[in-house]
Structure 1
Amino acid sequence: MLRKLSQEVKVVCRAGVEPPSWPEGIVRIEAKRTKGCEYEGCVLFRVFAGRGEPTSDELFLWYMAVTRARSRLLIVATTEEIDRVGRAVFCKAECEFIPLTEAPRAAAWIGESVSDVDVTEIRGDVEQRILAACRKGRPFYDTYEALQLAGANHVNFGRDARDALRDHPEKALLQEAEKTDCAYLRTLLFWAAGRSWQAAEQARRLERRDQPTCHGLVRAIAADLAKRGLPYEAERIRVCAGLPSEADYPYPEALGLPGPLVVALCQAFENSISDLEEDH
C-alpha cells in the first residue's frame, strides 16, 4: 500500500473544485493540508479557481501550493484562472503553456517524478483504497502499518474490512492468510472466513505491540459471535484474551480452556464430577 502511494501522482486540489471522479494512480491532497509537505513532483488542479481579486487567504494558499514541488510542477487551470493570477506571472516564471491536445505528454512528464506522501493528510483516501483492495479479495500486506501512519482506528476499520472480505469464498480468504504473517491482516481474514477462534488468536498476537487494538478486536469478534446466538463462545473469546467475564455461565472453568466448545465443556464436566467424588 505505502509503496503504491509513493509511485502515484500527487494532485493538489482546492475543496469544492474537483471532477466527479478521479482516475486510478492519483493521490488527491487538499491544498490547505499541504503545509510543510514536499513532493518531488505534483499537479495543481484548479487551485486558482474563483472570482474577482484574490483575498489574502487565497494568495497564501496559492503560494503554499506552488511551492510544494521540488523538481516538477504541472498546473491544470482554465484560461479564466490563469488570467485571474495574471498571465505575466507565469511568463516571468518561464512556465510552458501546454494545450489540452498535449495533455498525455504532460501527464507522462509529471508521472516520471514520484515521491512519498504523508498519509495522515489523506486518511480517508487510504482507508478507501484498502477497502477497495479487500473487496477484490487482495488486501495489502502492509494494511496495519498504512492505517497506523494514517492515524486510523484499526478496530473500526477492521469491521468494515471484514464486511468487504466476507463476499469472498472461505478457501480464498484462508489462502490469503497463508501468504502473510501480519497478525492484524490475518485477524481480518480469519474473521471474514468465519474462523472466529483463529481470528481471536491472531488478535492476541498484537497485545504487546498494540494492546488497545488487540482488546478492541477481541471484543468485536466476541460481539459478532453473541449476535449470532453464540454467547458462550463469545465469552470464551474474551476470557482467553485475559478480558473480564461479562456474565455468569455454567462451568465457568470451561471458558478458559482452548479448543472446541464441546470438548471444553466435557472436560469441565468431568472435572466437576471428579471434585464431587473426592468430596464424598
Structure 2
Amino acid sequence: MATISQQISEWQEKHSLQWRLAARARLFCSDHYHVSPDRVKFLEFMPVSQAKGREFDSCIAFCLFDLPQNGGRMEAYTKWYTQLTRARSRLLIVTTEAQLAQMGEEIFENLTITKGEKTVNAVERLNYQNPKEVTDALGWITELTSSLDTSATGRQGLREIILEGALQSDPILYYDLYYVLKSYDISSQETMAIEADIVNLLFNNAELQAPLKAYFEQPEVEEVPRLQTLIYRCLGQSWQAAEIAQSRKQSDPGTYQEVMAGIQQDLQHRHLPLEADRLARFYGLETSTNKFDNASWFKTSDKLIPLLKNWTEEQLKVG
C-alpha cells in the first residue's frame, strides 16, 4: 500500500497523480449527484455503487438515512451498510434530524472505544449551526494521510483519470505518473498505450507548446527522464526524446526499449516511415520496414545534401 505525504507544494498537488487518486476523504453520495472536483478541495465525490468492496482512511456519508417513500428499503439498508463500513479510521456522517429519526438515533449511543485506560464514546454529535464545530469536523476528516488503493477495483478508471488531466486546457502531465503505474502493477504494454494516447491528444497543437515546454522548468520533471521523453514526443521532437532515452540505455534498458519503440510508433502514426527507420538505424535498432532501400540511402546521404544544394543554386540562377 503506497502512501502520499501531505507536505507538497501547490504545483505538486495539482500535478501529482498520487494526490489525485488518494483524495484524503471520500464523500459518498447518490449515483446521480455530480460536482466539479475543483470546487471542493481534499474531497472526492464517489457514488455509493463505486465504493463496494473498497476501503479508505477517511469517509463522509452524505444523506445517509434518506429512505425512499415508496419501497426500496432493502436497497437503502444496503447502501447504509456500504457507507458505514468503508472507513478504516474516520467517518463523518452528514444527515438531518428527520433522516436520523428514521434510522433510529439510539444505534449510535452505545458505541465506545478504549483510549489507554479510558472508555469513551466513539461517536460525537456536532451542531451544524456552530461554524467552529463544522470547521473542526472538516479539518478532522481531511487531516489523515491517505494511501493508494492498488487493488483491482482501485485500478478501475485509472487510465481515464490520466487522460482527463491531459485533456485540460492547461494540460496536466503527472510528474509521478510512472511511479503510480508501477505501484498499480500496470504492464509495459498498457504503459506504452497510455503514453501513445497522451501523445495523440497533445501533438500538433500550437497553443500547447508553451505550457508543455514549461514542464522542463520543474525540478520534479528533471528527475524523471521518461516523462521528459513523453513531453518531447508531445512536442513532436522525436530526436530529442530519443537522445534522453539513449542516456538511460545502460541503467534502464527495458525502459529504453519501450520509449524508443514508442517514438518509432509516433513517426509511423504520422506517416513518416523513413524518419522512423532513420532514427532506428542511427541508434542501432530494428527497423520497421523493408519497403525502401534504406542502406543505399544512408550510403549516399553524405553526397546527396551538397548535390541538392548545388541543384537548388543552379535553379535559382536560371530563375
Structure 1 length as normaliser, TM-score? 0.68
Structure 2 length as normaliser, TM-score? 0.61
Deviation of 1:143 (Å): 1.3
Deviation of 1:235 (Å): 2.9
Aligned counterpart in structure 2 of residue 41 of structure 1, from 52, 55, 58:
58
Aligned counterpart in structure 2 of residue 221 of structure 1, from 257, 266, 274:
266
Q: Which has the higher contact order (CA 8 A, sep 6+)?
A: 2
Superposed CA RMSD: 4.1
Deviation of 1:199 (Å): 2.0
Structure 1, gaps ≥5 residues long = 256-263, 271-280
Aligned counterpart in structure 2 of residue 157 of structure 1, from 174, 177, 194:
194
Q: Contact conserved, 2:31 with 2:49, CA < 8 A, in 1?
A: no
Structure 2, gaps ≥5 residues long = 1-15, 112-122, 306-319
Aligned equivalents of 2:284, 2:30: Cα separation in 1:
45
Q: Contact conserved, 2:165 with 2:171, CA < 8 A, in 1?
A: no
Structure 1 stretch displaced more, 165-174 or 181-190: 165-174
CA deviations over 1:24-76 (Å, ceiling 9, x no partner): 33234444444554433222234555514532x55444324322323321123
Aligned counterpart in structure 2 of residue 113 of structure 1, from 144, 147, 158:
144
Paired position in structure 2 for 1:127? 162
Determine helix, strand or coil for the equivalent of 1:222: helix
Deviation of 1:5 (Å): 4.5
Paired position in structure 2 for 1:146? 180
CA deviations over 1:78-114 (Å, ceiling 9, x no partner): 5565445333334454451442664433212212223
Structure 1 stretch displaced more, 66-75 or 202-211: 202-211
Aligned equivalents of 1:115, 1:92: Cα separation in 2:
29
Q: Which has the higher helix share?
A: 1
Paired position in structure 1 for 2:227? 185
Determine helix, strand or coil for the equivalent of 2:155: helix
Aligned equivalents of 1:178, 1:114: Cα separation in 2:
21
Paired position in structure 2 for 1:246? 289
Paired position in structure 1 for 2:5? none
Q: Which amino acid aligns with 1:195?
A: Q
Structure 1 stretch displaced more, 87-96 or 102-111: 87-96
Paired position in structure 2 for 1:20? 35
Deviation of 1:233 (Å): 0.7
4+ runs deviating over 6 angstroms: none
Q: Contact conserved, 2:196 with 2:266, CA < 8 A, in 1?
A: no
Aligned equivalents of 1:98, 1:213: Cα separation in 2:
57
Deviation of 1:196 (Å): 1.0
| Distance change >3 Å, CA 179–CA 120, structure 1 → 2 | closer
Determine helix, strand or coil for the equivalent of 1:74: strand
Paired position in structure 1 for 2:128? 99
